[in-house]
């Protein structure tokens, strides 16, 4: 594995944290390149649970370097709280093991406020964001008014840029939204203090990661969210504000596209989504409830109940193809034990036409008809199994059927939250 991209193929929450933590055992460097504290990556090691939002999932492996690259929107308060929390538990986090790009954009209180206030104005068209300020921070980046980590380290520059940004934001907060404006002096003081704490971690992470690659180090790129939430290729406008797959790496980490050696997708054995937007295979009734209960499907970041549905082979095939995946990991297979029958979405009827292609214009999915195929389920707890041949026959049949529908090999199965609960099929 000289360099490996690991990304979600559905609407996030595919179990990337666990798989990245596991694969990080064979990596020297783990790089986050997009998203922010909207992500919630959960890892369970020897029964102990860790939820990370910004620090990459290699951090539990001593000596692994963890990089928060330039494409991440960093909430410095959240990042430092995670560092403190990890250190309190005895996890080593130093300026060597955690590297933060000086070029990463920052999320401030006004971004979090604008996120919530704008959602309110969207009414029925609201996105259901995590409220972490992601959209407003990336909007400022594109509008060239954002502040970057490097700006925090220079108090004069920070003062000039934050004052200009806040003058405009405060006017909007107060006059458009009728909310309380922020105190510029307090925001400035807090920003400079945060910069001082971040200083030991900050550097040119793009140059560092490129040098690591040239030196033969093994690099793992950690995707957050999932392809169906990609700003360009997902279910726009019900998406996050970054490129969530392998395509996000070159820009988001300063890493040459041709040096990404392998790409592995992660998808659940069924589907979930938090927030609003199209979800063709959603199950509104009892079966959806049963999946939510069996999979404990509540958001790791917001605690919101996740919408649940059958595996969508159309969406996953699209996400894997878009990212040139060499293989994928099917997670949460254990959650499907005990269902009499399992269905999979194999085609949509869009505008009266039967198609197995994901539509380029997502509104076409509104009210689209979904075609399913069904197979018998299996009984019994499979979470303790470690060999593929020990799985119930119907579980193997389900895996192989889905693999065929999707057309990309399943290289690993995840059958429980713990790092050890996997069945390898080549990865």
Please, what is the minimum distance in Å from the beta carbon of residue 170 to ligand IMP? 22
Q: Give the nearer residue to ligand IMP in terms of CB position, either 11 or 213.
A: 11
Interstrand relation of 65-68 and 98-101 (parallel, antiparallel or unpaired): parallel
Please, what is the minimum distance in Å from the beta carbon of residue 423 to ligand IMP? 25
Q: Give the nearer residue to ligand IMP in terms of CB position, either 119 or 373.
A: 119
Please, what is the minimum distance in Å from the beta carbon of residue 302 to ligand IMP? 7
Number of residues counted as binding ligand IMP (CB under 6 A): 21
Q: For residue 330, how many other CB atoms are within 10 A of its CB?
A: 27
Q: Give the nearer residue to ligand IMP in terms of CB position, either 228 or 264.
A: 228
Q: Are the C-beta atoms of residues 322 and 408 closer than 8 Å to each other?
A: no
Residue 332 touches ligand IMP, criterion: CB under 6 A: no
Q: Give the nearer residue to ligand IMP in terms of CB position, either 17 or 195.
A: 17
What is the 8-class DSSP label of residue 151? Answer: H
Contacts within 8 Å (CB) and 24+ apart, 176-184: 177/117, 177/120, 177/121, 179/113, 179/117, 182/109, 182/110, 182/113
> In terms of Cα–Cα distance, which of 412, 427, 260 is closest to 329?
412
Among candidate residues 21, 28, 41, 418, the one labeled active-site is: 41
Q: Give the nearer residue to ligand IMP in terms of CB position, either 22 or 53.
A: 53
Please, what is the minimum distance in Å from the beta carbon of residue 290 to ligand IMP? 21
Structure tokens at 229: 């939430």
Q: Which helix (H) or strand (E) holds 315?
A: helix 313-322
Crossing angle between the packed helical segments 393-406 and 313-322, to the nearest 10 degrees: 50
Q: Which helix (H) or strand (E) holds 181?
A: none
Q: Outline where 147-257 has alpha helix (H).
A: 149-152, 155-171, 184-198, 205-214, 248-253
Q: Give the nearer residue to ligand IMP in terms of CB position, either 59 or 137.
A: 137
State CA 23 to chain mean position distance.
16
Residue 282 touches ligand IMP, criterion: CB under 6 A: no
Give the integer Cα–Cα distance in Å for 67 and 90.
20
Give the integer Cα–Cα distance in Å for 274 and 299.
7
Please, what is the minimum distance in Å from the beta carbon of residue 244 to ligand IMP? 9
Q: Give the nearer residue to ligand IMP in terms of CB position, either 97 or 241.
A: 241
Output the CA torsion 402→311→242→414 (10° steps): -70
What is the 8-class DSSP label of residue 241? Answer: S
Residue 229 touches ligand IMP, criterion: CB under 6 A: yes
What would the x/- binding string for ligand IMP be over residues 25 to 44, using CB under 6 A? -------------xxx----
Name the residue number minimizing CB distance to ligand IMP: 275
Please, what is the minimum distance in Å from the beta carbon of residue 333 to ligand IMP? 20
Q: Considering only residues 10, 50, 225, 332, which one is a binding residue for ligand IMP as defined by CB under 6 A?
A: 225
Please, what is the minimum distance in Å from the beta carbon of residue 7 to ligand IMP? 12
Q: Are the C-beta atoms of residues 260 and 221 closer than 8 Å to each other?
A: yes
Give the integer Cα–Cα distance in Å for 241 and 115.
12
- Residue 13 annotated in active site: yes
Q: Interacting stretch for ligand IMP, rule CB under 6 A, among 5-13, 145-153, 319-327, 371-379?
A: 5-13
What would the x/- binding string for ligand IMP be over residues 230 to 249, using CB under 6 A? --------x-xx--------
Binding to ligand IMP, residues 104-163 (CB under 6 A): 127-130, 132, 134-135
- Residue 41 annotated in active site: yes
List residues binding ligand IMP (CB under 6 A).
11-13, 38-40, 127-130, 132, 134-135, 224-225, 229, 238, 240-241, 274-275
Residues assigned a catalytic role: 13, 41
């Amino acid at each position: 594995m000289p360099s490996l991209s690991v990304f979600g193929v559905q609407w996030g929450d595919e179990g990337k944290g666990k798989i990245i933590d596991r694969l990080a055992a064979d990596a020297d460097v783990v790089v986050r390149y997009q998203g922010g504290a909207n992500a919630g990556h959960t890892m369970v090691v020897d029964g102990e649970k860790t939820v990370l939002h910004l620090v990459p999932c290699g951090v539990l492996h001593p000596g692994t370097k963890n990089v928060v690259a330039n494409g991440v929107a960093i909430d410095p308060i959240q990042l430092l709280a995670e560092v403190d929390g990890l250190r309190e538990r005895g996890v080593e986090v130093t300026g060597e093991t955690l590297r933060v790009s000086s070029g990463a954009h920052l999320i401030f209180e006004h971004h979090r406020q604008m996120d919530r206030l704008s959602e309110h104005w969207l009414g029925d068209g609201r996105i259901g964001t995590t409220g972490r300020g992601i959209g407003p921070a990336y909007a400022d980046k594109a509008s060239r008014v954002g502040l970057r980590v490097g700006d925090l380290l220079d108090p004069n520059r920070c003062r000039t840029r934050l004052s200009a940004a806040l003058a405009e934001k405060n006017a909007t907060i107060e006059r458009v939204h009728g909310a309380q404006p922020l105190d510029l002096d307090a925001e400035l003081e807090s920003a400079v203090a945060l910069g001082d704490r971040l200083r030991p971690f900050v550097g040119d992470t793009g140059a560092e990661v490129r040098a690591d690659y040239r030196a033969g180090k093994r690099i793992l790129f950690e995707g957050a969210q999932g392809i169906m939430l990609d700003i360009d290729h997902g279910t726009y406008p019900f998406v996050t504000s970054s490129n969530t797959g392998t395509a996000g790496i070159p820009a988001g980490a300063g890493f040459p596209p041709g040096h990404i050696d392998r790409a592995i997708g992660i998808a659940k054995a069924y589907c979930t989504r938090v927030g609003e937007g199209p979800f063709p295979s959603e199950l509104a009734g009892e079966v959806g409830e049963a999946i939510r209960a069996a999979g404990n499907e509540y958001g790791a970041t917001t605690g919101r109940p996740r919408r649940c549905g059958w595996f969508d082979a159309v969406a996953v095939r699209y996400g894997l193809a878009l990212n040139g995946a060499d293989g994928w990991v099917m997670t949460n297979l254990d959650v499907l034990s005990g269902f009499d029958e399992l269905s999979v979405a194999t085609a949509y009827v869009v505008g009266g036409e039967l198609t197995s292609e994901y539509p380029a214009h997502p509104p076409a999915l509104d009210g689209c008809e979904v075609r399913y195929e069904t197979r018998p389920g299996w009984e019994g707890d499979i979470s303790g199994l470690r060999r593929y041949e020990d799985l119930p026959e119907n579980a193997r049949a389900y895996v192989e059927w889905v693999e065929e529908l999707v057309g990309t090999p399943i290289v690993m199965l995840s059958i429980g939250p713990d790092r050890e609960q996997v069945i390898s099929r080549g990865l």
